[in-house]
Amino acid sequence: MAVHEVRVTNLPHLEDTRGKNLLYEIKTALHIYSISKIVTAKVYRFEGISLQDVDFLARHLLCEEVFQHYTINQPIIVDADRVVEVAYKPGVMNPEVGSIMKAAEDLGVNGLIAADSSHEYGFYGTITEKEIGLVLSRLLVNETVERVVPEKPDTLVIHGTPGVTETIPIRSMNDDALMDLSRDKLFLNLQEMHAIKNYFTELGRDPTDCEIETLAQTWSEHCVHKTFKSTLVVDGSLKKPLLKRLQEATFNARHPLVLSAFEDNSGVIAFYDGLALCGKVETHNSPSAIEPYGGAMTGSGGVFRDIMGTGKGAKVIASTDMFCFAPPDLPAEEVPPGCLHPHYLLRRVVAGVRDYGNRMGIPTNNGSVHFHRDFRAKPTIIVGAYGIMPAGDARKGQPQCGDIAVVVGGRTGRDGIHGATFSSGEMTHRTIDVNASAVQIGHAIEEKRLSDALLRARDEKLIRAVTDCGAGGFASAFGEMGQKTGVKIHLERVPLKYPGLAPWEIWLSESQERMALAVAPEHLERLLAICHEHNVEATAVGEFTDTGKLEVYYENECVCELEMNFLHHGIPGRTMIAVPARRPGEVKEPDLPGDWTEVCAKIMGDLNVCSKEPIVRMYDHGVQAGNALPPFGGVSGGAPNDAVVLAPVLGKKYGAVISHGMNPVLNTIDPYAGTIWAATEAVANAVAAGANPADLVLIDNFIWPYPDEESLYDLDQAVDACTDFVRATGMPFISGKDSLSSTYRSKDGSVIKIPPVVCISCFGRVEDVTATVSTDFKRTGSPIILVGKRDVNRMGGSTYFNITGSYTPGVPLVDLSVLPETLKAIYRACRNGAALACHDVSEGGLLAALAEMCFGGDTGVDVVIPEGCRPDYFLFNETAGCFLVELDDRVDAGELFGGIPYLTLGQTTNTKVISVSQGGKKLFELPLEKLLYAWQKPMKEVFGG
């Protein structure tokens, strides 16, 4: 059947914003200046309909003559020096195709068999082959999912016949053969391979590919968290597994709000009016490293489904994103082979988070971006989501024998196969080539309608249990749901994107936007009707049994029969050894700055301090109309707040607060202190906004290098820090995740360990959102109080030391005996209106916090530094858990803050400067305009605007 093409582009007199932006990126990221103009066009292809119908679609669907024109089966960019078409690879689902097919049908065009869409770029200028190659490989084509279209395709239909189920002769394999089987695919160690071999030897048969793959994903680090469950020998002494320690700390905290901790897809706490809040934070490093746009999208989509699949289903109300990259201006030759440039990664990851969250209508309103050279081999991509549900639905039901196993949402394709096992492996120069199938493009609208349908079904009490199909696909979802009963699945019933999948591929596919349900038989019909009304595909694919077995059939062939007990408990326990790491570093302290303005501008412009506003502006952070404290505010709208406060139930005054803390630089020096810093920072952010510390809970994320003995020692330290923090503050961890694959191994065997990241997220409830506080100074003449105990001479890992090339092993320590009272005092000051503005001290120190408060209030400040301390250390120290408070001048600071360390620092002024004096002598005056410029510049350069 003939394929017809429609090309659409803007009328020649109109600006091509897509082309303009690409040109900007080519100049700023690639430093190629030979292109004068880029014109873009959209290409649509249709198979199965006549030329007349194609023209009809062009006029009524594809092209709007107000600003566009089109051609059929003809080029449209005719005078460019070079035209390149970029499309998704065949088999990668193009989310737009479904809409095109639907609209064609709505318009009465029948017979359309297949359609596709892609983009064409026309380059004008004296661009060389080498340059075009760079533009394609670095900016336009991600070979994991995209390709340059060489010529018009003969057909758009993907053909294929189902693959067969193969038997793996594991019983006859020696150790070498076992490890060959594991490498690049299963990522299991020899001990685990032996356990599998022994199991099948006892059964007297060899496993199918389906069985091997099921075991590999269920036993993957990603799914089972082997390291966190291992017994540890730390520096010679035996210690409990990391996970156990975290869980015990939470249990011992006996926090009254906790409804569910560490047992569901997210942690759940009580909210108000019989409602509950839940939170989950995930990493998506490996996929994002090789396909940042798709990886970030599927990261967001996955964590949203974790919320949707908590208890009997929750509504997602917020999304957060925390990233770590190498500096965007890293010279291209320093990017390790097989890795992508950080400038590209940053822009594409942001685009992925943007496109998924915005389309699904989830406000992305808390996050941060961190930079360190050692992230050049692998970025850290952390995405969080928070939800709301009736407290009565906060716990899953237990599937019963006879319940129907239902798959809802997107269709199953070859996407993301081996995602779970791949995420558990190290990144190497081979990663991009071997694991291309591990990434796909997310489809936010599929997930949105799925969410709409599921919430309706939940409210009609049709759902016994629900979980998302994430890593490991059906194998993981049904394997877990049926763990206590048994389940039998018929794979031929699963709706597929295209034919040709082998049974094991259907079973393991990680196609996005799918969820698994257990539904009592009497509710099935109603459930299917609700899904139908929401344009959501829902299919009964099996039933829960009482056999204690995972049974999978394809037509009449049994492709998998595993005992649940072996699947979930057969993995050999591990004891792992941890030994202290040496941290070399030559002590070097800086001299006092000569030019204070220059140094302060450098601090404000440091990548870890600078404004991230251009990123936040691309996220729809206002959808759902919940904001009571947005990410940015103040006079010009550009001053960052510490946390986000949402009033998610419209018309009610109570709210949710969300914040986080992390500092990878500190962890490279002292993982214990760095982790305490992160937890303190997370909590301080929430409390600075006016949250009650008694109503806050925590989520941990450890993103660590592959746990060799030294890295494991660091990890052990970080976990000890977490549990110490719980004991000191009473705030429990209720959810968490570890990703222990941040190691890059190159062809020549050299290793890059990515800085260990601990991200601590904090969320909780707020009784009255109108008693919360923003960071912008509100008045002139107000006293500014510095509250909290600072460790002012420990400057290791600070921004100041970074820009001056200094080093000491002493990073700031948070005094956990003082912190709880400090938090309570800040909360009181916010609650009773005494605090007009409040900001916690973090990267960039006191100076950065003061400057941001000034930007927001369009005010200046007079600051007096206590005598006897180094003014630079005083201004730039980054001890967490300290706060700047603009106090109502009618309030006595002593009454509010008596008993905890505090200091009256100065007052707000109507000047445009930060004026600093010490010992009665003015030290310097900083023009705010200069600081603002330096602070806003870096991200404006990356993102434009």
Which residues have a Cβ under 8 Å from the Cβ of 247 and sit 6 or more positions away? 261, 262
Told to check if 619 binds another protein by CB under 8 A, we report yes
Site string for another protein, 647-666 (x = CB under 8 A): x--xx---------------
Closer to another protein by CB, 651 or 749: give it.
651
Site string for another protein, 771-800 (x = CB under 8 A): --xx-x-x----------------------
Closer to another protein by CB, 266 or 774: give it.
774
Told to check if 45 binds another protein by CB under 8 A, we report no
Told to check if 769 binds another protein by CB under 8 A, we report yes
Closest CA to 276 of 765, 768, 771, 772: 765
Told to check if 360 binds another protein by CB under 8 A, we report yes
Give CA–CA dist 424/352, Å, rounded: 22
* Burial category of 126 from C-beta neighbours within 10 Å (exposed 0-12, middle 13-18, buried 19 and up): exposed
With helix as H, strand as E and coil as C, how does 719-758 read?
Answer: HHHHHHHHHHHCCCEEEEEEECCCEEECCCCCEEECCCEE
Told to check if 100 binds another protein by CB under 8 A, we report yes
Contact 30, 98 (CB under 8 A): no
Phi-psi region at 801: left, alpha or beta (left = phi > 0; alpha = psi -120 to 50)? alpha
Q: Tell which one of 770, 889, 899, 910 touches another protein (CB under 8 A).
A: 770
Told to check if 443 binds another protein by CB under 8 A, we report yes
Told to check if 70 binds another protein by CB under 8 A, we report no
Told to check if 852 binds another protein by CB under 8 A, we report no
Closer to another protein by CB, 618 or 719: give it.
618
Buried b (16+ CB within 10 A) or exposed e, 601-616: bbbbbbbbbbbbbbbb
Told to check if 895 binds another protein by CB under 8 A, we report no
Told to check if 699 binds another protein by CB under 8 A, we report no
In the complex, minimum distance from the CB of residue 624 to another protein, in angstroms, rounded to a whole number: 6
Size of the residue set binding another protein (CB under 8 A): 67
Closest CA to 603 of 818, 253, 873: 873
Closer to another protein by CB, 95 or 479: give it.
95
Options 326-334, 443-451, 486-494, 790-798: segment touching another protein (CB under 8 A)? 443-451
Q: Tell which one of 617, 912, 930, 940 touches another protein (CB under 8 A).
A: 617
Told to check if 616 binds another protein by CB under 8 A, we report yes
Give CA–CA dist 912/926, Å, rounded: 9
With helix as H, strand as E and coil as C, how does 290-352 read?
Answer: HCHHHHHHHHHHHHHHHHHCCCCCCEEEEEEEEEEECCCCCCHHHCCCCCCCHHHHHHHHHHH
Options 93-101, 256-264, 509-517, 706-714: segment touching another protein (CB under 8 A)? 93-101
The amino acid at residue 838 is C
Contact 515, 452 (CB under 8 A): no
At residue 52, the 3 state secondary structure works out as helix
Told to check if 625 binds another protein by CB under 8 A, we report yes
Told to check if 815 binds another protein by CB under 8 A, we report no
Closer to another protein by CB, 324 or 408: give it.
408
Closer to another protein by CB, 100 or 891: give it.
100
Q: Tell which one of 354, 372, 464, 549 touches another protein (CB under 8 A).
A: 354
Give the end-to-end CA distance of the chain in Å, rounded to a whole number. 47
* Burial category of 269 from C-beta neighbours within 10 Å (exposed 0-12, middle 13-18, buried 19 and up): buried
Options 262-270, 355-363, 786-794, 919-927: segment touching another protein (CB under 8 A)? 355-363
Q: Tell which one of 620, 840, 852, 886 touches another protein (CB under 8 A).
A: 620
Which residues have a Cβ under 8 Å from the Cβ of 259 and sit 6 or more positions away? 268, 269, 270, 276, 391, 394, 395
Interface of this chain with another protein, residues 5 to 44, rule: CB under 8 A: 14-15, 17-18, 20-21
Our answer to whether residue 284 is catalytic in this structure is yes
Closest CA to 249 of 703, 861, 722, 667: 722
Told to check if 102 binds another protein by CB under 8 A, we report yes
Site string for another protein, 515-534 (x = CB under 8 A): ------------------xx
* Active-site residue (options: 284, 341, 443, 621): 284
Told to check if 62 binds another protein by CB under 8 A, we report yes
Closest CA to 628 of 653, 609, 608, 603: 653
Told to check if 207 binds another protein by CB under 8 A, we report no
Q: Where are the alpha helices (DSSP H) in 58-95?
A: none
Closer to another protein by CB, 775 or 804: give it.
775
* Tokens representing residue 388 in the block: 């709301």
Q: What are phi and psi of 507, to 5 degrees?
A: -70, -35
Closest CA to 413 of 513, 294, 555: 513
Kindly list the residues in this chain that would bind another protein in the complex (CB under 8 A): 14-15, 17-18, 20-21, 60-62, 64-67, 95-96, 98-100, 102-103, 106-108, 354, 358-361, 443-445, 448-449, 533-535, 616-625, 627-628, 630, 632-635, 637, 647, 650-651, 769-770, 773-774, 776, 778, 857, 943-945
| Residues classed as catalytic | 222, 284
